[in-house]
Amino acid sequence: MCVWVWLQGRSDQLALHHHVHQGEPEAPPPVTTVTRRFNQDMTVPEGRVIPKGNICLVSIYGTHHNPELWPNPEVYDPSRFDPDNSANRPSLAFIPFSAGPRNCIGQNFAMAEMRVVVALTIRRFRVTPGKAEVRRLNQLILRAEGGLWLQLEPIGAP
């Protein structure tokens, strides 16, 4: 589960908020895999050569749940993205929008939109998880079966 933190009037809150929503390799990415065609021969660590023209399936979900990259990958920990904690992590260990020249062109808009929606929501409401158990639908685009329900209570309500 994701816990959002907002400290009204604090200049450092956006950095913390950025870590909070970014610090979710344990949460499933919207798209679980991407494919890439090799434009040159590629030698993998075992010494095998993958010939030019072959297609590679990159598991974003698998990368985000790799315990060699993410200790305790199923545990929510926004501090994973603190500079001290991520200095030795490969730059492609977290790729929710893919990477390289064919990454999601809407990623900056999506992140900005999420910051605004979350900020406005938690300024006005106390947000708690719904009562129903969340069941993941494992499809091309991951989502929760029946939706992801939250309870919103207006702040300042009697």
Q: Known binding site for heme: residues?
A: 104
Closest CA to 56 of 39, 38, 43: 38
3 vs 76: CA distance, rounded Å:
9
Q: How far is CA 69 from CA 65, 92, 150, in A?
A: 8, 10, 31
77 vs 147: CA distance, rounded Å:
24
Question: Counting Cβ atoms within 10 Å, is residue 17 exposed (0-12), middle (13-18) or buried (19+)?
Answer: buried
Q: Are 50 and 83 in contact (CB under 8 A)?
A: no
Residues annotated within the binding site are 104
12 vs 50: CA distance, rounded Å:
46
115 vs 124: CA distance, rounded Å:
14
